[in-house]
């Protein structure tokens, strides 16, 4: 059961801001940890500009670095020179999938679409939100199907399969995410090792990032927005380690969603798994997360609302105005910030 709270009264337009298009990062920094780092101290209200490889200078001693180890799956199927798309949102089994499609007029109930030589798709059903249930003529892991799988880069990034490995964290394990937990893209094995020598240990949780996290908010009153659920898990070993932690630094909003879903008021972490639809907005009281590493998020997004809940609405505006003025790189392949 997700605890309830009374959100502060904000409307969708409160979370809008103008971002110059040239600040949307199209490629990641090389090496990974050479992205820039904005450090914001909630207690003093100060902002510092640095680079991610120096993050150890700012992290509290012996904090636990909690990362999301979910791996991005190649769930975008493209055919006929990209004119036909099946974006798999859920695999019911190895041949039946739930998916967003393009163009929609081709995928009508009962109709079979020839996708490629030896591969077709029959639409079984259309849900109210437009998601199709589709039966493929071959399994998802069939050699023919595999040829048409692509990395689900977000729409603001020009698709480039040569960057597929860079759209995975170095600690990614089980496939299941439709988008990368991007705050973790900045870490290198060398940086993780360096932090461990400082007494900062990496703890792993899992949240398979779904489209719900990134779905646009369409309601004017943000509390009326309905979050889609996402599957998460914390193992017994990780739960015990988290309970021994001096402080917790979440790497990314997806890790925050796991931690805040798993820990109940006044209780300890326990091994758990399930679905979470937690929606964190200003007015929320955090139970487990002390510090946060995150990227810069899209206007009007639920992720921006989470950041506002963590540092305060006015402080969020201040941080983003600074980042734009200083020409930080935004979104998935962009720079990062550490919120202390």
- 187 lies in a domain? yes
Q: Are residues 115 and 193 in the same domain?
A: no
Q: Is residue 164, in this structure, part of any structural domain at all?
A: no
237 and 135 share one domain: no
**pTM for this model (two decimals):** 0.93
Verify that 209 and 322 share a domain, yes or no.
Answer: yes
User: By C-alpha distance, which of 172, 163, 155, 187 is closest to 65?
Assistant: 187
In a domain, 81, yes or no: yes
At residue 267, what are phi and psi to the nearest 5 degrees? -115, 170
Q: What is the pLDDT along the chain (340 residues), one digit of tens a residue?
A: 344 455 567 899 999 999 999 999 999 999 999 999 999 999 999 999 999 999 999 999 999 999 999 999 999 999 999 999 999 999 999 999 999 999 999 999 999 999 999 999 999 999 988 999 999 999 999 999 999 999 999 999 999 999 999 999 999 999 999 999 999 999 999 999 999 999 999 999 999 998 766 677 888 888 888 888 899 999 999 999 999 999 999 999 999 999 999 987 678 999 999 999 999 999 999 999 999 999 999 999 999 999 999 999 999 999 999 999 999 999 999 999 999 9
Report how many domains make up the chain: 2
For residues 138 and 62, state if they share a domain: no
Q: What is the CATH number of the domain that holds 324?
A: 3.40.1780.10
In a shared domain, residues 36 and 134 = no
Among the three residues 95, 118, 150, which one is the final residue of a domain in this structure?
Answer: 150
CATH number of the domain to which 111 belongs = 2.40.10.240
CA distance from start to end of the chain: 29
Q: Which of 95, 120, 150 is the last residue of a domain?
A: 150
Whether residues 272 and 194 fall in one domain:
yes
Same domain, 55 and 39: yes
Q: Is there a single domain that holds both residue 229 and residue 101?
A: no
pLDDT at 279: 92
Q: Is residue 27 part of a domain?
A: yes
- Cα–Cα distance for residue pair 297/279, rounded to 1 Å: 16
The domain of 126 spans 76-150
For residue 157, being part of any structural domain is answered with: no
> So what's the pLDDT on residue 227?
84
Kindly state whether residue 4 falls inside one of the protein's structural domains: no
**C-alpha torsion angle, residues 116, 117, 119, 121 (rounded to 10):** 50
Per-residue pLDDT at 265: 64
| Statement to judge: residues 111 and 80 lie in one domain | yes
Can you list the positions of beta strands (E) in 164-295?
Answer: 175-177, 201-207, 230-234, 248-251, 272-276, 291-295
């Amino acid at each position: 059961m997700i605890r309830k709270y009374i959100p502060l009264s904000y409307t969708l337009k409160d979370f809008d801001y103008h971002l110059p298009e040239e600040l949307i990062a199209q490629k990641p920094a090389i090496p990974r940890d050479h992205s820039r780092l904005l450090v914001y101290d909630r207690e003093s209200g100060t902002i510092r500009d640095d680079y991610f490889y120096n993050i150890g200078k700012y992290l509290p001693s012996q904090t636990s670095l909690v990362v999301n180890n979910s791996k991005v799956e190649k769930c975008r199927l493209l055919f006929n020179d990209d004119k036909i798309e099946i974006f798999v949102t859920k695999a019911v089994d190895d041949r039946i999938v739930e998916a967003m499609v393009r163009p929609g007029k081709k995928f009508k109930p009962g109709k079979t679409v020839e996708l490629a030589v030896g591969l077709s798709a029959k639409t079984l059903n259309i849900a109210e939100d437009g998601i199709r249930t589709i039966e493929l003529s071959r399994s998802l892991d069939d050699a023919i199907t595999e040829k048409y799988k692509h990395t689900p880069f977000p729409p603001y990034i020009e698709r480039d399969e040569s960057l597929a490995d860079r759209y995975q964290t170095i600690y990614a394990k089980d496939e299941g995410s439709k988008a990368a937990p991007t705050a973790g893209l900045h870490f290198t094995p060398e940086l993780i090792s360096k932090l461990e020598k400082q007494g900062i240990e990496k703890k792993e949780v899992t949240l398979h990032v779904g489209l719900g996290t990134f779905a646009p908010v369409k309601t004017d009153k943000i509390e009326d927005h309905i979050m889609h659920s996402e599957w998460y898990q914390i193992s017994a070993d990780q739960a015990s380690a988290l309970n021994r932690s001096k402080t917790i630094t979440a790497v990314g909003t997806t890790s925050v969603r796991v931690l805040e879903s798993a820990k109940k008021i006044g209780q300890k972490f326990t091994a758990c798994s399930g679905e979470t639809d937690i929606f964190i907005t200003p007015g929320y009281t955090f139970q487990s997360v002390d510090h946060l590493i995150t990227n810069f998020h899209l206007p009007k997004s639920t992720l921006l609302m989470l950041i506002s809940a963590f540092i305060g609405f006015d402080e969020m505006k201040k941080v983003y105005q600074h980042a734009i003025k200083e020409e930080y790189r935004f979104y998935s392949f962009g720079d990062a910030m550490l919120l202390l």
